[in-house]
Chains A and B, each alone.
Chain A
Amino acid sequence: MMHMKEEELIAYREGVAEQRAVIADHLAACEECRAEMARIEAVLAALDTLPVPDPGADYGRHVWKEIAPRLAEKPDRWWQVWFAPRRLAAAGGIVALIVAAFLAGRISKRGNAPDNVANQEQVRERVLVVAVGEHLGHSERMLIELSNEAPENPKQKEVDISAEQRRAEDLLQENRLYRQTALREGDAGLANVLDELERVLLDVAHSPGEVTPVQLEAIQKKIEARGILFKVRVVNKELQQRQEATKPAPPQNDSAKRERNKV
């Protein structure tokens, strides 16, 4: 007599088998498979004894007390999701700094003209330097983690990359805003790197949450082939230098940006 596979017995026990009637009939007739099923059930029954602590009768009230102060007056409607804090965080930061740059420019117009232009340029520069530096840091960490993902054992059929995928989705929104801002600011070098990063983020965000080892390797190879991690690191380092350079009062020297734009 042909016996049931372990996979079929587990699927039957967990209620996800497609041919339930066939398995049930077989179990009724086959002592060996019944014994195998009993061994599976013994393990599951033992697991069912693992306790879950009782959080208490008033737990719901406790949760409400904890979260109520953190809730907005009214939840967002579906269309407002596009304007959710997370998605607007990057844009908000940029807008705030651009406004600051504009105001700084207006106020300093009262002073001498060359200095004003330099100051205005300096603040604009810092807009990208601070916010984009942070964004690149987050992207770099996500890509490193993804590059280091590997199946736990050679037999593993799928690798879970859902956390990286979700982070890529978030980073993608920010990346678009920064790339557009970099283009507007005339920083073509930075815009190019962000454009390349965006393609990688898109690939990751559109991947399934679980990928086969072959798919994972393909994603990792794409990351490696584009040299995106190296480019992100170089730009981030340069941004840090620019951040240092824009801190003091001396007039802004934008030769570094022009140099990179030539690349």
Chain B
Amino acid sequence: MTRMQQSVDSTQAIAESDAVAVERTLAGDRDAYRVLVERHSHSVFRLAYRMTGNRHDAEEVVQEAFLRGYQKLGQFAARANFGTWVYRIAANYAIDRMRQRQKEDARRDTPRIEDRDGMENDPVNRVQDEAPTPERLTQSLELRKQMEQALAALSEAERTAFVMRHWEGCGIEEIAGVLKSSSSAAKNTVFRAVQKLRYALQPFVETKTQVRAMGTES
């Protein structure tokens, strides 16, 4: 059996197992929902973190998505993929959360202190091939800051479309569903997001590449 076939089988087995868990939950077995929560929490967290940009909001989105999922489970019955469905709920709630956060920040009129995850999560430490020289360290921290700012500057729809497509590999139809737009509008939103990110980050990416090249030569 090929790896791809194994992967398809495994996805199918999870979907079938999800469908059973959904039916059992609807029949009143609350613990069956626990299986769904434990199985999908990590992926929903990843989506929520990438959309909201901070851990606190991401955790709130995850909890709210599963709460709403439970309340609306009766509407899900005919569908096949619980993971996709709860993803969509989480994305919708994350959009609301981002808007709310933006308004709160605007009211306070002060920049929000994002929760930073410390040096252990810095991109510089993920690069295995070279030792972090002071130049590279500075450049990487600067690049990370720029990347976070560029993502924060996207509209909610653009950020949602980019996260769902680029990082989560969601289909255009699914993204269009969350954005309540047509498929062509969703595609266009993905394009706009990448274009904005490109223009905001290209100078820094090029600088970083140059600094790396200089570091390698020395």
Q: A residues within 8 Å of B by Cβ?
A: 6-7, 10-11, 13-16, 39-40, 42-44, 46-53, 55, 59-61, 63-64, 66-68, 70-81, 84, 152, 157-158, 160, 162-163, 165-166, 208-210
Is B172 within 8 A of A53, CB to CB? no
Is A157 within 8 A of B188, CB to CB? yes
CB distance from B147 to the nearest CB of A (A): 6
In the docked arrangement, what's the CA distance between A77 and B41, Å?
23
In the docked arrangement, what's the CA distance between A46 and B122, Å?
12
Q: Does B87 contact A (CB under 8 A)?
A: no
Taken residue by residue from 183 to 218, chain B's Cβ proximity to chain A (1 for < 8 Å, 0 otherwise) reads as: 001011111101101100110111011000000000
Q: Which of B4-12, B73-81, B130-138 contacts A (4 or more CB under 8 A)?
A: B73-81
Select A77's contact among B40, B74, B156, B198, beta carbons within 8 Å. Answer: B74
Is A16 within 8 A of B187, CB to CB? yes
CB distance from A208 to the nearest CB of B (A): 6
Is B50 within 8 A of A43, CB to CB? no
Provide the residues of chain B in CB contact with A70, threshold 8 Å.
67
Is B191 within 8 A of A11, CB to CB? yes
Instruction: Answer whether A152 and B155 are a contact pair too, CB < 8 Å, given A60-B41, A64-B34, A64-B37.
Output: yes
In the docked arrangement, what's the CA distance between A63 and B165, Å?
26
Instruction: Answer whether A71 and B123 are a contact pair too, CB < 8 Å, given A60-B41, A81-B72.
Output: no
Is B42 within 8 A of A59, CB to CB? yes
CB distance from A41 to the nearest CB of B (A): 10
* B: number of interface residues (CB 8 Å): 73
The chain A residue sitting closest to B140, CB to CB, is A49
6 additional contacts (CB under 8 A) given A60-B39, A158-B189, A210-B180: A16-B172, A50-B148, A53-B117, A55-B42, A76-B73, A160-B156
Is B33 within 8 A of A71, CB to CB? yes
Is B121 within 8 A of A51, CB to CB? yes
Is A67 within 8 A of B67, CB to CB? yes
Q: Does B71 contact A (CB under 8 A)?
A: yes
Chain B binding surface SS class: helix
Is A60 within 8 A of B42, CB to CB? yes
Provide the residues of chain A in CB contact with B72, threshold 8 Å.
75-76, 81
Q: Does B126 contact A (CB under 8 A)?
A: yes
In the docked arrangement, what's the CA distance between A78 and B35, Å?
22
Is B205 within 8 A of A46, CB to CB? yes
Provide the residues of chain B in CB contact with A59, threshold 8 Å.
41-42, 45
Select A47's contact among B63, B147, B180, B185, beta carbons within 8 Å. Answer: B147
Is B201 within 8 A of A43, CB to CB? yes
Is A50 within 8 A of B41, CB to CB? no
CB distance from A139 to the nearest CB of B (A): 17
Provide the residues of chain A in CB contact with B55, threshold 8 Å.
53, 55
Select B37's contact among A14, A49, A67, A76, beta carbons within 8 Å. Answer: A67
Is B75 within 8 A of A81, CB to CB? yes
Instruction: Answer whether A76 and B74 are a contact pair too, CB < 8 Å, given A51-B117, A60-B38.
Output: yes
Instruction: Answer whether A52 and B201 are a contact pair too, CB < 8 Å, given A14-B194, A44-B194.
Output: no
In the docked arrangement, what's the CA distance between A18 and B172, Å?
12
Q: Does B89 contact A (CB under 8 A)?
A: no
Q: Does B17 contact A (CB under 8 A)?
A: no
Q: Does B19 contact A (CB under 8 A)?
A: no
Q: Does B26 contact A (CB under 8 A)?
A: yes
Q: Does B28 contact A (CB under 8 A)?
A: yes
Is A46 within 8 A of B30, CB to CB? no
Is B155 within 8 A of A73, CB to CB? no
Is B41 within 8 A of A209, CB to CB? no
Is B67 within 8 A of A71, CB to CB? yes
Provide the residues of chain B in CB contact with A64, threshold 8 Å.
34, 37-38
Is B144 within 8 A of A50, CB to CB? yes
In the docked arrangement, what's the CA distance between A49 and B204, Å?
14
Is A49 within 8 A of B201, CB to CB? no
Provide the residues of chain B in CB contact with A152, threshold 8 Å.
155
Instruction: Answer whether A43 and B66 are a contact pair too, CB < 8 Å, given A76-B71, A160-B155.
Output: no
The chain A residue sitting closest to B103, CB to CB, is A145
In the docked arrangement, what's the CA distance between A80 and B75, Å?
10
Provide the residues of chain A in CB contact with B194, threshold 8 Å.
10, 13-14, 40, 44
